[in-house]
A and B are shown apart, each in its own frame.
Chain A
Amino acid sequence: MQVPARFEYEVAGTVGEAVELLGRYGEGAYLIAGGHSLIPMMKLRLAVPDVLIDISGLDDELRYIEEDGGALRIGALTRHREVLESPLIRERYALLADAERLIADPLVRNMGTIGGDLANADPAEDLPAAFVALDSEVVAHGPDGERTIHVDDLYVGPYETSLDHGEVLTEVRVPRAPGGSAYFKVKRKTGDYASAAIGVALTMNGGQIESIRIGMCGVGNKTLRATGAEEALTGERPGPEAYKRAGDIAAEECDPIDDAKGTPEYKRDLVRVLLARTVARAVERAEVQS
């Protein structure tokens, strides 16, 4: 039987209270929301918190999907299922719906939260790559108030972010909807993490790719951005040749490990193929939009 080690349990009634509790208990305190990454890690003793601070009751403050002034805001306690089922997301931020459909399984998506997904910083987690493509930032609440962190600066290493220990990730913001976007992933079975996955968000202008951002996961020790591939595609007319050139660059920009999911060579090949597919789909969607 796998059971977590003993811990003290506190329930936070507000974000402010969660910040105060994190401050009071220090480094040994962990936040728990959906718990679907943390509890498995606690069973395996990969995480051994002294104190769990339960923020799952903060729905009133942190569970929403809203678009105002052209910017998308998703509260940290929003469940995966809600993102997947949101008509707004499907229409305007299609790569998030693409990614959600492939995250874990429907039951896990009922409990797992967006904030937990982003803060957990698993190098093979999908949403960080999707939000990298969307040029997003996260909002963190700490003892000194609120600050925003761009996702490009959020991921430091495996399970490591630039959030301070005393901060609560409360929201993710996307500044504007892309012209077109898509997310593709290869996984071995339902519930598995990505062998490789790519998220793309772009805008088109006069038949050319005007701007593009590419996030990758499962192929490095953290969420990656394929800046070289982005440069190679910017200003280009979409097509197989441009995709191949960019795919070759992206395959060099990642750093996959050899594990049960495959060899580095195999995963680099996945990146080449997925990049072409993902950009093509995003372009297609951008053309339908315009």
Chain B
Amino acid sequence: MRITVNVNGVMLEAEVEPRLLLVHFIRETLGLTGTHWGCDTSNCGACTVLLDGEPVKSCTVLAVRANNHEVTTIEGLWSGTELTPVQEGFHVEHGLQCGFCTPGMIMTATEFLERNPDPTEAEIREAISGNLCRCTGYENIVKAVQWAARNGSTQEVGA
């Protein structure tokens, strides 16, 4: 099936098999390997991307479902000159150890802070509860999100 998807602000057309999962479309068809492919069972959230601005687990979405929709991946956050406040927060607060969960965490946190720019710690923990860090580095991930909240994370992302 032929699909047209707005990926990180660029309209792309591709011929895909209906059973192709969005995560594999992003990584293999488009070569955007910033989105990680983890548990394959919609548990870990490593594959989180924004679909029409909302974080979703792309291992559990068909690529054809994104036809005529907007997808934002971690690559789409890069302005060309600087990191976003959430990315900066993960850097400053050492919000990553092995880094595998990081793109998913950042996509989830980015959308979360748009809706809730001044969250409590409990709200942050709830928001990232669908993203697993197997290094168990949650303390610093929470601090990274708090850093971003303090340092202005309300910029719009997406197309």
Point out residues on A near B: beta carbons under 8 Å. Answer: 1-9, 32, 35-36, 39-40, 43, 52, 54, 56, 104-108, 110-111, 190-191
Least distance between A34 CB and chain B CB atoms (Å): 9
Least distance between A39 CB and chain B CB atoms (Å): 5
- Which one, B18, B61, B129, contacts A106 given CB within 8 A? B129
A6 near B17 with CB under 8 A, answer yes
If A3-B19, A7-B18, A39-B62 touch, whether A108 touches B129 (CB-CB below 8 Å) is no
Binary CB contact string for chain B from 6 to 47 against chain A (1 if under 8 A, 0 otherwise): 000000000001110100100000000000000011110100
B158 interface hit (Cβ, 8 Å): no
A105 near B61 with CB under 8 A, answer no
B130 near A9 with CB under 8 A, answer no
By a CB distance below 8 angstroms, the chain B residues around A56 are: 65
B43 near A191 with CB under 8 A, answer yes
B156 interface hit (Cβ, 8 Å): no
By a CB distance below 8 angstroms, the chain B residues around A3 are: 19, 21, 24
Least distance between B68 CB and chain A CB atoms (Å): 9
B153 interface hit (Cβ, 8 Å): no
B122 interface hit (Cβ, 8 Å): no
Q: How far is the CA of A272 from the CA of B157 in the complex (A)?
A: 48
A54 near B57 with CB under 8 A, answer no
A-B residue pairs in contact (CB < 8 Å), sample of 12? A5-B19, A8-B18, A35-B65, A40-B42, A107-B130, A108-B57, A110-B54, A110-B55, A111-B56, A111-B61, A191-B43, A191-B130
Q: Which bracket fits the contact residues of B? A: 20 to 34
CB-based nearest B residue for A1: B40
- Which one, A104, A106, A111, contacts B126 given CB within 8 A? A106
Binary CB contact string for chain B from 59 to 99 against chain A (1 if under 8 A, 0 otherwise): 01110110000000000000000000000000000000000
Q: How far is the CA of A220 from the CA of B72 in the complex (A)?
A: 41
A52 near B40 with CB under 8 A, answer no
By a CB distance below 8 angstroms, the chain B residues around A5 are: 19
A107 near B48 with CB under 8 A, answer yes
CB-based nearest B residue for A5: B19
A7 near B19 with CB under 8 A, answer yes
CB-based nearest A residue for B108: A107
Q: How far is the CA of A39 from the CA of B18 in the complex (A)?
A: 12
CB-based nearest A residue for B60: A39
B1 near A107 with CB under 8 A, answer no
By a CB distance below 8 angstroms, the chain A residues around B108 are: 106-107
A35 near B60 with CB under 8 A, answer yes
